[in-house]
Structure 1
Amino acid sequence: MQENYYWSDDYSAEFYITAAQCGFITTSMYKEEKLILLPEIQFEYALMKFDEIKISKKIRKLINENKYELKINQRTKEVYKKIINYHKDSWLNDEYINILNSINDKYNQVSNFKFYSVELIEKETNLLISGEIGYQIGTIYTSLTGFTNRDKKYNNCGKLQLVLLNYYLKDNGLKLWNLGHPQLQYKLDLGAKIYNRADFLKLWYENI
């Protein structure tokens, strides 16, 4: 219970899925030009119950304008590219993407694991405005990383994507949303609550 980060040079889909099933969120880094996977069992987690979401007036207005739609697993390669461009020194890299692709090719929806590419599309232009990647295990969805368009025209579209994803996950029978590290304020503003590791793991194993 004193440690949180571990490392592995096992790039197999089986290892990645097993770590995810145990509650680890795996990122990556390069050390001496070699990819190292970094499974983390966090000290604290931001968890959300879908009925507890907080929706601002600005987001309700965007929903009512009906200019955007949410799609799942339709433009995955484009989501990868935009995430890498959005984050400086992104841990999402070609080798990590290869692991995710191997899961999609062979293991998606097997062993209680389902990969998600989440895509907010502007209806008029068909542009991909905001998105993220994550996965479902049992009735829990875990967010990994995402992006949003920084153009002023698309202010609040990142938050809109999260709200529409909340509706989608709830409608598809999920029970909890694991937003990972609780330090980012937007997660708490959305309605997430902070759980320590022991309480997180109790909820985790009740819902996977």
Structure 2
Amino acid sequence: MTDPIPYISIDMIENGFKPGIGYYWSDNFSKELYIKLSQMGLICVSNNFCYIGDILLPEMQEAYAVLHFNNLHISKKVKRLLKLEYKLIINQDLDSFLPLLKLHHGSESWFTKSYIHLMYNLKDLTLYRDNFQLNTVIMSFYKCGIYHP
């Protein structure tokens, strides 16, 4: 039997709690909590549980949250993709990003209704004013003159 996933709150963080490796959960989809979790290095996804509803699942995951350039491995698949013509788009265009995410992941996405609402609430924050900025990243490949998102 596995241990239950610990709950995390903004009060815990403000009182000095330091998360370790692994998942946490919260039913708080506030901008304040999400920003504090992000600034601590936690990556958040969400899920819907039938008896609880939407929950936030922050995770401290060093394997993909920290990039060690001296140990960087680029897979053969990525190397092949990088040989194609591509366009990397970094912006805050959630209206373009979310349909592409749904197209790619289908209904298996971590973007629950509460998470999407939170992303729209975070969209207008700026790095200079709020010490936080939400960005979307889309890589598009061009093959045989046809655009493939």
Q: Normalising by structure 2, what TM-score?
A: 0.62
Q: Report what 1:117 is aligned to.
A: 136
Q: Distance in 2 between matches of 1:121 and 1:97?
A: 22
Structure 1 unmatched runs, 5+: 129-208
Q: Report what 1:16 is aligned to.
A: 34
Deviation at 1:49, TM superposition (A): 3.4
1:38 and 2:38 equivalent?
A: no
| Secondary structure of 1:45's aligned partner | helix
Q: Report what 1:95 is aligned to.
A: 114
Query: 74-83 or 89-98: which moved more?
Result: 74-83
* Equivalent pair of 1:28/1:92 in contact (CA under 8 Å): yes
Q: Report what 1:26 is aligned to.
A: 44
Deviation at 1:21, TM superposition (A): 0.9
Q: 2:97 aligns with which of 74, 79, 86?
A: 79
Q: Distance in 1 between matches of 2:28 and 2:83?
A: 46
The structure with the greater share of residues assigned to strand is 1
Q: Distance in 1 between matches of 2:114 and 2:140?
A: 27
| Secondary structure of 1:19's aligned partner | helix
| Secondary structure of 1:29's aligned partner | strand
1:49 and 2:68 equivalent?
A: yes
Deviation at 1:95, TM superposition (A): 1.9
Q: Report what 1:197 is aligned to.
A: none
Q: Distance in 2 between matches of 1:55 and 1:79?
A: 25
Aligned CA-pair RMSD: 3.2
Deviation at 1:120, TM superposition (A): 1.7
Deviation at 1:64, TM superposition (A): 5.2
Q: Distance in 1 between matches of 2:80 and 2:108?
A: 34
| Secondary structure of 1:48's aligned partner | coil
Structure 2 unmatched runs, 5+: 1-18
Q: 2:88 aligns with which of 58, 66, 70?
A: 70
Between 1 and 2, higher relative CO (CA 8 Å, sep ≥ 6) is seen in: 1
* Equivalent pair of 1:75/1:119 in contact (CA under 8 Å): no
Q: Distance in 2 between matches of 1:49 and 1:3?
A: 17
The alpha-carbon distance between structure 1 residues 8 and 54, as it changes in their structure 2 partners (threshold 3 A), is closer
Q: Report what 1:145 is aligned to.
A: none
The alpha-carbon distance between structure 1 residues 102 and 48, as it changes in their structure 2 partners (threshold 3 A), is same
Q: Report what 1:172 is aligned to.
A: none
Q: Report what 2:6 is aligned to.
A: none
The structure that has the greater radius of gyration is 2
Q: Report what 1:188 is aligned to.
A: none
* Equivalent pair of 1:84/1:93 in contact (CA under 8 Å): no
